[in-house]
Amino acid sequence: MDRIEELLRAAKPDDEHLSAADDAYLKRILAKTPAMLANKDITQRIERKSVSRKRARQRMRWLVSAAATVLVATIVVTVAGQVPAHAYAATPPMLKTIQANHDVATVLNDLSQLSAVQPDRSTRREIVEHVWGLATKVDAQGQPVRTSVIQPEKYVYTLAAWGVAARASYADEPYDIAGSPVVDPALPKPGTLLERDIYTEEDQPPALPPLPEDAAEFSAYFAENIPSQGEPESTTAINRVVAVMYGRTINPRQEAGLLEYLATIPGLELAGECEDRLSRSVYVLRSATWAEQQELLLLDANTGHIAGYETIYIGTSRTDIPSPAVVSYTAWE
């Protein structure tokens, strides 16, 4: 058994789905070398204080737990994939884009200039994001439970000088597959605190070096710190942006340089303009299709800020969801 498998087995996750936010950290841990994963620091456990369960529990550090949870989620979804094609699980409505009047490089360079003159948000000590991820669960007989309501979560991260000090999870506004609000007494009310995690400096994932500000330095930075896993370059580029955005703040010059870097990526398409999950006007960048998925990166049209990302299923191997379908999203405030 290799080291990664040992860590996944040791984590013993529960049946919670892997959030879109945790998926970003998963991408980072999988991008690291076996030597890093062999570090016994990764196997240290932390105390996770759960409000919703009203008990303390011991868990692997959050990176390893995320990796293990996605393993379980993959297995569950595989079982659920055998259900009839007409019995779809609820997924959020696809973003409705309209065609943009510019090419992707022009839009990215314009947004880079816009982002560079925005107020510096890198000193913030709180990050708020709205997340949802597809989780197909089974009943006592092992049959898939098809949900008809989507309830996202809102994560509030408290930052310290050394990283994420706490994460609080709240129930967000539920809605149906058409995007209409849902009132369901069985669901926690929006704003209900679901869970609070407290972290220490020792609990932090391996830290990435500070981002460069010069667009020309990003290729070398990413090659060194978040190497490609063999996917198309456009997929790699979006995954890298997600990885460096999660749990940290960046200054306007870094964000501007990052957008300039994206303008050089082959295969990255401009899907169009639309209103995102938080009713903001955004440009939507789209990766090539890989492993029956496309990655979307959302950029605020008014500020140039990186506003969110989504993963879209496009394939024929699954029958529990339609194709195309949103399988996860994150929207940063």
pLDDT tens-digit profile of 103-146? 999 999 999 999 999 999 999 999 999 999 998 677 777 766 77
Percent of the chain with pLDDT over 90: 63
Could you tell me if 117 and 252 are in contact, meaning their C-beta atoms sit under 8 angstroms apart?
yes
- Compare 257 and 29 and report the one with higher pLDDT: 257
Residue 26: per-residue pLDDT = 54
The answer to whether 28 touches 243, Cβ cutoff 8 Å, is: yes
Does this model's pTM top 0.85? My answer is no
Is the sign of the CA dihedral 127, 51, 151, 77 positive or negative? positive
Spatial neighbors of 303 by CB under 8 A, at least 6 apart, are: 114, 115, 118
DSSP-assigned letter for residue 32: S
Computed over every residue of the chain, the mean pLDDT equals: 80
CA 172, 176, 178 angle in degrees (round to 5)?
Answer: 125
Mean local confidence (pLDDT), 175-193:
93
In one-letter notation, the amino acid at residue 304 is: G
Contacts of 89 (CB under 8 A, 6+ apart): 80, 134, 136, 144, 146, 147, 320, 321
Spatial contact of 229 and 237, defined as CB atoms under 8 Å apart: no
| pLDDT single digits (tens) 38-94 | 333 333 322 222 333 322 222 323 333 333 333 333 333 333 333 333 468 899 999
Structural domain range at position 83: 3-332
Report how many domains make up the chain.
Answer: 1
- The share of the chain scoring above pLDDT 70, in percent, equals 72
